[in-house]
Chain A
Amino acid sequence: GAGVSQTPSNKVTEKGKYVELRCDPISGHTALYWYRQSLGQGPEFLIYFQGTGAADDSGLPNDRFFAVRPEGSVSTLKIQRTERGDSAVYLCASSPTSSTAFSEQFFGPGTRLTVL
């Protein structure tokens, strides 16, 4: 079956613009995670969804970042008034359950965002 997909694979935008990044999780996976990976760093947790609700958004860096998952499947990460420091690879992962003790996270290929 299909894995986690993310679109676009690359996004170049100008400072101050609005961007949306999309994640299609594995069908049936209830948990969905967004991460940000800067060059030379490990993925940094942003937000976690269980179903349609954001169960934990403590990793979002500021109020310019927002994510939704209205039907409990596809999720969109939205970034307003982009800044050069937002440039990174944004990773999405899904999991059949929310328990990290028993469930593997399956990662998408990421969206590389470049803010000029």
Chain B
Amino acid sequence: GNSVTQMEGPVTLSEEAFLTINCTYTATGYPSLFWYVQYPGEGLQLLLKATKADDKGSNKGFEATYRKETTSFHLEKGSVQVSDSAVYFCARGTGNQFYFGTGTSLTVIP
């Protein structure tokens, strides 16, 4: 089938800590992969994306690499800030449909 599995939260980190949120997918063909972020009280917004194998998406210090061999798209940031506190959703797009993971809540404490 087609699905996205991401690391369960909640995740709590101290400021400047290293962040990894794991995401793996199952799909036929070659989907595009995305990370969306939802800040408190706001709507979903695109954080980064990758459209083919070995592509690296990056934005606001976050990075994720499209790994076809491991069907993964893990989100990383070297030094998180309090303002990164949000819910992060991994998603894959195939054809006209997006499939989202269940979301990982991140809280960064000063």
A84 to chain B, nearest CB (A): 22
| Assembly CA distance A110 to B41 (angstroms) | 11
Q: Chain A interface: which size bin?
A: 20 to 34
User: Are A100 and B89 neighbours in the complex by a CB distance under 8 Å?
Assistant: no
User: Are B101 and A42 neighbours in the complex by a CB distance under 8 Å?
Assistant: yes
Which secondary structure dominates chain B's binding surface?
Answer: strand
Which chain A residues numbered 90 to 116 have a C-beta less than 8 Å away from chain B?
91, 93, 98, 100-102, 104-105, 107-110
Q: Chain B interface: which size bin?
A: 20 to 34
Residues of chain B having any CB pair with chain A under 8 Å: 4, 31-32, 36, 42-46, 49, 51, 89, 91, 93-103
| Assembly CA distance A43 to B43 (angstroms) | 12
A100 partner, pick from B42, B44, B98, B100, beta carbons under 8 A = B98
11 contacts between A and B (CB under 8 A): A3-B43, A4-B43, A35-B98, A41-B102, A42-B103, A56-B96, A100-B32, A100-B94, A101-B32, A101-B51, A109-B43
